[in-house]
């Protein structure tokens, strides 16, 4: 029987993990609908807690005000890049006039971005609760408390990075960092949940794996992370093509992306083969009712769905809903594979 404090932490942590995936879904919808600049300021939206629904509600002279504010924030960000020695990127941020271009008001895009931010605020609050409730493990498993606190710091940095995404008018590489950091936060939450649960759930500790299957699971996880990073790069290239002004249909965008798409597709095949191989290895060594087998089943299902969205994107003119689904499924693949890897590696921690 779990003590109430530990049970509370596990519940909040589980809700937080779900909320993180909902946040990734919301971010994917924002990206696929082009709503990223629906709110030109941050953290408020048009200087309001509740965003406007029509042009008459917009603040007077808001365009000039927000452009000036973004320019100051970008200058501070460029100064920070200079201090880290990235002068080329700093100069690009200072001199790229497209960063300060203002988008016309669109109520649908504004509210899409606002809902994304609202989900982000709720998720941040849940992560803070996790850190507070994790104090119950301070004596028994201090690492749970430490990583929960680190995750609050990480989500604070993620919020700041979100403001930079807005101020730089969705500069591609920052969006990639924003996405990868989201996976880091998801990974920490899954890790603290597993560590807390495995303290008392002895069934979770029963496995008979060898170092080979652990390495295979780690390789599969690494391939998924690389695929997410490269896939985000593909998406950036598609965004550049779509915004270039060329009269191309959506079905022609991938032809303009170049080598990065070929790499993404080839690694996708390799990743799929590794996951299928991992599935058969796990199923041959564990009972069908074991945690390891159940999560491997889910992994294979997610892979099948991900392949389906990849086919839709490649052969059906990159439909926006498939872009969002592809991103969310990649995140779920990461989360499921990471938890499976923890399950397979538990022998070393007994």
- Asked if residue 136 and residue 110 are part of one domain, the reply reads yes
- Asked if residue 39 and residue 116 are part of one domain, the reply reads yes
- Asked if residue 182 and residue 101 are part of one domain, the reply reads yes
Q: Where does a domain end: 170, 200, 230?
A: 200
Look at residue 45 and give its three-state secondary structure: strand
Domain range for 251 is: 201-350
- Asked if residue 216 and residue 156 are part of one domain, the reply reads no
Q: How far is CA 298 from CA 273, 334, 337, 341, in A?
A: 16, 12, 9, 13
- Asked if residue 93 and residue 239 are part of one domain, the reply reads no
Which pLDDT value is given to residue 75?
82
Question: What are 179-205's pLDDT values in tens digits?
Answer: 889 999 999 999 999 999 988 876 776
Percent of the chain scoring above 90 in pLDDT? 43
Residue 158 to residue 117: CA distance in whole angstroms: 12
- Asked if residue 210 and residue 167 are part of one domain, the reply reads no
Give pTM, 2 decimals.
0.86
Q: Where does a domain end: 166, 200, 234?
A: 200
- Asked if residue 274 and residue 160 are part of one domain, the reply reads no
The H-assigned helical ranges of the chain are 4-32, 62-83, 87-95, 107-133, 142-167, 172-198, 211-242, 253-257, 259-285, 291-315, 320-344
The label of the residue with tokens 């990159």 reads 318
- Does residue 24 carry a pLDDT above 80? yes
- Asked if residue 178 and residue 289 are part of one domain, the reply reads no
Q: What letters, b where the CB count within 10 A reaches 16 and e where it falls short, cover 131-165?
A: bebbebbeeebeebbebbbebbebbeebeeebebb
Q: Is the dihedral of CA 268, 154, 6, 198 positive or negative?
A: positive
Contact 12, 311 (CB under 8 A): no
- Asked if residue 48 and residue 184 are part of one domain, the reply reads yes
- Asked if residue 209 and residue 131 are part of one domain, the reply reads no
Question: What are 106-116's pLDDT values in tens digits?
Answer: 899 999 989 99
Query: Which CATH number does the domain housing residue 220 bear?
Result: 1.20.120
Residue 318 token pair = 């990159």
Q: How many CA atoms lie within 13 A of 176 on its CB side?
A: 17
What value does the mean pLDDT of the chain take? 85
Which pLDDT value is given to residue 251?
60
Which pLDDT value is given to residue 21?
96
Q: Where does a domain end: 200, 220, 237?
A: 200
Which pLDDT value is given to residue 245?
55
Q: How confident is the model at residue 349 (pLDDT cuts 50, 70, 90)?
A: very low
Under 8 Å CB-to-CB from 69, ≥6 apart: which residues?
A: 41, 167
H/E element, 60: none
Residue 74 to residue 91: CA distance in whole angstroms: 11
- Asked if residue 229 and residue 118 are part of one domain, the reply reads no
Longest dimension (CA), the chain: 67
- Asked if residue 280 and residue 333 are part of one domain, the reply reads yes
Domains in the chain: how many in total?
2
Instruction: Say which residue, 134 or 93, is predicted with more confidence.
Output: 134
Residue 152 to residue 338: CA distance in whole angstroms: 20
């Amino acid at each position: 029987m779990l003590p109430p404090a530990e049970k509370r932490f596990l519940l909040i942590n589980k809700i937080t993990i779900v909320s993180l995936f909902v946040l990734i879904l919301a971010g994917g919808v924002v990206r696929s609908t082009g709503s990223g600049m629906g709110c030109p300021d941050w953290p408020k939206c048009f200087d309001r807690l509740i965003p406007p629904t029509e042009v008459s509600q917009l603040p007077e002279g808001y365009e000039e005000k927000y452009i000036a504010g973004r320019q100051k924030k970008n200058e501070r960000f460029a100064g920070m890049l200079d201090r880290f020695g990235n002068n080329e990127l700093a100069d690009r941020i200072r001199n790229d006039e497209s960063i300060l271009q203002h988008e016309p008001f669109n109520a649908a895009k504004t509210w899409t971005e606002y809902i994304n931010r609202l989900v982000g605020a709720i998720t941040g609050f849940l992560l803070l609760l996790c850190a507070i409730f994790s104090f119950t493990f301070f004596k028994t498993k201090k690492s749970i408390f430490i990583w929960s606190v680190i995750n609050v710091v990480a989500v604070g940095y993620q919020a700041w990075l979100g403001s930079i995404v807005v101020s730089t008018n969705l500069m591609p590489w920052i969006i990639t960092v924003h996405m990868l950091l989201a996976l880091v936060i998801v990974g920490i939450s899954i890790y603290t949940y597993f560590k807390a649960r495995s303290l008392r759930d002895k069934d979770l500790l029963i496995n008979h794996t060898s170092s080979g299957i652990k390495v295979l699971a780690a390789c599969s996880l690494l391939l998924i992370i690389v695929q997410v990073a490269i896939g985000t790069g593909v998406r950036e290239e598609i965004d550049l093509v779509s915004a270039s002004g060329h009269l191309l249909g959506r079905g022609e965008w991938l032809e303009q992306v170049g080598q990065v798409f070929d790499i993404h597709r080839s690694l996708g095949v390799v990743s799929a083969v590794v996951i299928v191989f991992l599935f058969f290895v796990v199923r041959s060594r564990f009972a069908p009712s074991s945690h390891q087998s159940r999560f491997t089943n889910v992994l294979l299902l997610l892979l099948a769905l991900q392949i389906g969205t990849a086919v839709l994107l490649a052969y059906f003119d990159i439909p926006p809903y498939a872009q969002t689904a592809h991103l969310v499924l990649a995140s779920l693949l990461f989360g499921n594979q990471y938890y499976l890897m923890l399950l397979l590696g538990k022998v070393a921690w007994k």
